[in-house]
Chain A
Amino acid sequence: MTAVPAAARRREVDAQVGLVIFLGATAMLFAALLLAYAIVRAQAPAWPPAGAPPFPRGAAAVNTFALVAASIALRRGRPGLALGLGAAFLAAQGLLWQHLVAIHLGPTAGALGEVFFALSVLHAAHVLGGLVALAWAGARRRRLLTLYWDFVLAIWIVVYLAVCVL
């Protein structure tokens, strides 16, 4: 009788260990992209590149709040709300990308645009992965999902600081 809950508890820890390893691998993916950004930036004659319009920091910062709110909602045990906020973040990022292309900061418009697009598109893919997991797991697996969402949020903050602010 006692063996089964013990096994279930052990599997839960297994899953956490596995997720931490996976997040370590994902962190390396973004670390490599940030390294590429650092090299591109170090080799550019000027930064931001000459002729590039100023980056719309405010709009990108507003999107950040959606992601923060999603993380908080998940911690408060509101997976439905978190799902909505995560989707809102993706939609807002879509609008931001559209705006960037319009003001000539798109992926083909030079170093700043391409760096931001590469990092934010890949980040959005991981947010999307989190949304799928959230939709599939719902209220179950809360600790795993919270860990994942906090990680995705942390990555976004690093990307925002590195590309938009610094």
Chain B
Amino acid sequence: MSERQVASIDEEIEPAPTGFLRRYVFSHDHKVIGRQFLFLGLGFLAVGGLMAMLIRWQLARPGAPVPVVGKLLFGPSGGVISPVAYTALFTMHGTIMIFFAVTPILIGGFGNFCLPLLIGARDMAFPRLNMASFWTMFAATAVLTASFFVPLGPPEAGWTAYATLSTAIGAPGPGQTLWVVAIYLNGASSVMGAVNYITTVLRLRAPGMTYTRMPLTVWGFFLTSILNALFVPVLAAAMVLLLFDRLLGTQFFIAGSTPGAGGDPILYQHLFWLFGHPEVYILILPAWGIVGDLLSFFARKPAFGYRVTVGALCGVVLLSTVVYGHHMFTTGMSPLLGESFMLLTMIISVPTALIVLSWLGTLWRGAIRFPTPMLFCLGLVFTFGVGGLTGLYLADITADLYLHDTYFVVGHFHLIMAAALLMSLFAATYFWFPKMFGRMMSEGLGKLHFWLTFVPLNLVFFGMLAIGYEGMERRLYDPSVFDFLKPLLPLNRAISHAAYLLGAAQLVFVLNFFWSLARGPRAAANPWQVGTLEWSVASPPPHHNFDRIPIVVRGPHELGHPAARPLGRDWLSQTELVDETPPAAAPSPETA
């Protein structure tokens, strides 16, 4: 790229703010906002995880008082989780994990932190909008938290808030109204982020950073943002109509209440899943991108089939918009429509399989290193593989009619939404922690954390697949009241014990995180020896990221490059100009 072009981009560097509030609270800096999202999300991840522990307690020992915290949390019922409390628990567990833990950590946290750094920009396109996005998310969490403390308690309509459970008929209390407002604000935050991320990728890429030289991580966040911009508003529409039903007395989602009124609870499901299925990909696309990059980095060779992977990611984005009906096979939709959705859903496994094959191709004959981020990436390949394969059973209408709303579904989506996403966000944390905070995390504790997470995680969700296949329905307060589910109690108990272990293992992560934050060894600029742009600046990067806007000359995965050998290493930076004439041009000492 020409000097002139660079000069026009190399505008004056904005001085770093000095006041405490502008630096750490109302910051415009994408790196600070990313960390704010990360901490907010990790906090809610802990809350949602503890709720899962309580749910597992009830399923392992139905009706037994919860030890230690029972009296505090469930005082009026003598420490026992009441049916009402149980319903609220699984509702809030799902809501928190999807909207207030994974979304802020992965998209808000790592998306914010990585995007400008990875494409060679000084900040997002709209720094103030970025700040507004975080504080809107914060307001959403405040509203959601408030729903715990209102008369009639927190919402109990499930994370999907199906009508008519969520209308004024099923949920007369203000808790559900606050839930609707919180989800709306959460969506507003996501759309603000999406506008920012898309504009940033379209407009602020450094000279030479062509679309096919962008790291896969950037592709993941970019495509996720496109889906966010298009489909979160559909959820917003559902929330608006639900709010009107609750507050203004309209009857969009209430069937047959007035002659001539066409209110229909299924209408809510259409709107919800029209958003809800893209949402699955909104969350998994960044994870796929991150894993695509990290597998290449730690296999020390270029990502296999980069262009195929990018094409497959785009294919998944397109297909993800036309498969939502597979969530509604049991609503009595036209069989013709159902079959179309089944076919489209199964077709989506083609690009998905291409992505997984690219990962395996990347690993094939690589000089694989196994630091903690790599372990979590490999964990994702496994859990995502199993989660994806079980999706095929559910895509099939005849199998789904039996498995619908059983724990098989719960196991399936947890393998992806919980297991694979946890793996990716831990991989991302271990990988970018040095860049974010300037210190290394402990490898020993990291590896311990991996094994203590990976093994129980699979026990929990494989167990769920098994009890679901045996016919246990999801959201049951006490399965032991049904004779045919009584034999499953020992298995339920085993799942719960694995879940407690999984929960306890996260203490290792918390310890590692905070210990490393305070006492970890100082990180070098490029501890992983890779060539993407964020590793070409100091750890942590300065306020303006790059002293000079970098000029990109090659792709993100130049590992094991022969031209790097004379430099005494196996990688080339994306900005590095080296003599790339093949060594065959000069006779090597062996043949001479």
A→B interface (CB under 8 Å): 2-4, 6-7, 10, 13-15, 17-18, 21-22, 24-26, 28-33, 35-36, 39-46, 49-52, 107-108, 110-111, 114, 117-118, 121-122
Contacts and interface: CB of A to CB of B under 8 A. Distances in A.
Contacts of B131: none
Contact of B125 (A14, A43, A46): A14
B199 A17 contact: yes
A54 to B, nearest CB: 15
7 contacts: A17-B125, A25-B191, A25-B230, A28-B230, A29-B236, A35-B270, A50-B260
Interface stretch (B50-58, B250-258, B561-569): B250-258
B8 A28 contact: no
Interface string B448-485: 00000000000000000000000000000000000000
A29 B260 contact: no
Interface residues of B, number: 45
Contact of B260 (A2, A14, A51): A51
A28 B494 CA distance: 46
A46 B199 contact: no
Contacts of B240: 33, 118, 122
A21 B194 contact: yes
Nearest to A29: B233
B241 A36 contact: yes
Given A35-B271, A35-B274, 17 more contacts: A3-B10, A10-B203, A18-B126, A21-B199, A22-B191, A26-B233, A28-B234, A31-B234, A32-B238, A40-B267, A44-B262, A49-B261, A108-B249, A108-B251, A110-B261, A117-B244, A118-B244
B231 interface: yes
A3 B233 contact: no
Contacts of A107: 244, 248-250
B270 A4 contact: no
Contacts of B582: none
B7 interface: yes
Closest 3 CB pairs of A and B: A32-B237, A49-B260, A29-B233
Contact of B194 (A13, A15, A25): A25
A95 B252 CA distance: 24
B51 to A, nearest CB: 30
Contacts of B264: 39-40, 43
Contacts of B320: none
B202 interface: yes
Interface centre among A7, A14, A28 (most CB of B within 10 A): A28
Contacts of B267: 36, 39-40
Contacts of B248: 107-108, 117
A30 B195 CA distance: 18
A42 B266 CA distance: 13
A82 B241 CA distance: 30
A14 B126 contact: yes
Contacts of A111: 260-263
A50 B259 contact: yes
Given A32-B271, A118-B250, A18 B260 contact: no
A49 B244 CA distance: 20
B229 interface: yes
Kindly name the residue among A25, A39, A108 whose own CB sees the greatest number of chain B CB atoms within 10 A: A25
Nearest to B248: A107
Contact of B271 (A18, A25, A36): A36
A107 B261 CA distance: 11
A4 B230 CA distance: 34
B250 A3 contact: no
Contact of A18 (B8, B11, B195): B195
A21 B229 contact: yes
B323 interface: no
A13 B203 contact: yes
User: Which has the most chain B C-beta neighbours within 10 Å: A2, A33, A46?
Assistant: A33
A39 B248 CA distance: 20
Nearest to A19: B195
A24 B230 contact: yes
Interface in B1-44: 7-8, 10-12
A18 B236 CA distance: 20
Nearest to B198: A21
Interface centre among B199, B232, B262, B271 (most CB of A within 10 A): B262
Contacts of B8: 2-3, 6-7, 10
Contacts of B271: 32, 35-36
A115 B262 CA distance: 10
B333 to A, nearest CB: 12
B404 to A, nearest CB: 22
B496 interface: no
A31 B264 CA distance: 18
Contact of B7 (A3, A17, A18, A52): A3
A24 B232 CA distance: 12
Contacts of B252: 36, 40, 114, 118
Nearest to A27: B233
A110 to B, nearest CB: 5
A117 B229 contact: no
Given A28-B231, A32-B234, A45-B260, A114 B244 contact: yes
B250 A114 contact: yes
A32 B244 contact: no
B429 interface: no
B574 interface: no
A110 B233 contact: no
A144 B234 CA distance: 24
B195 A21 contact: yes
A108 B7 CA distance: 61
A30 B196 CA distance: 21
A28 to B, nearest CB: 4
B266 to A, nearest CB: 9
Nearest to B236: A29
Nearest to A121: B244
A89 B252 CA distance: 27
Contacts of B241: 33, 36, 118
A81 B255 CA distance: 46
Contacts of A118: 240-241, 244, 250, 252
A15 B244 CA distance: 33
A31 B244 CA distance: 18
Contacts of A35: 270-271, 274
B523 to A, nearest CB: 32
Contacts of A2: 8
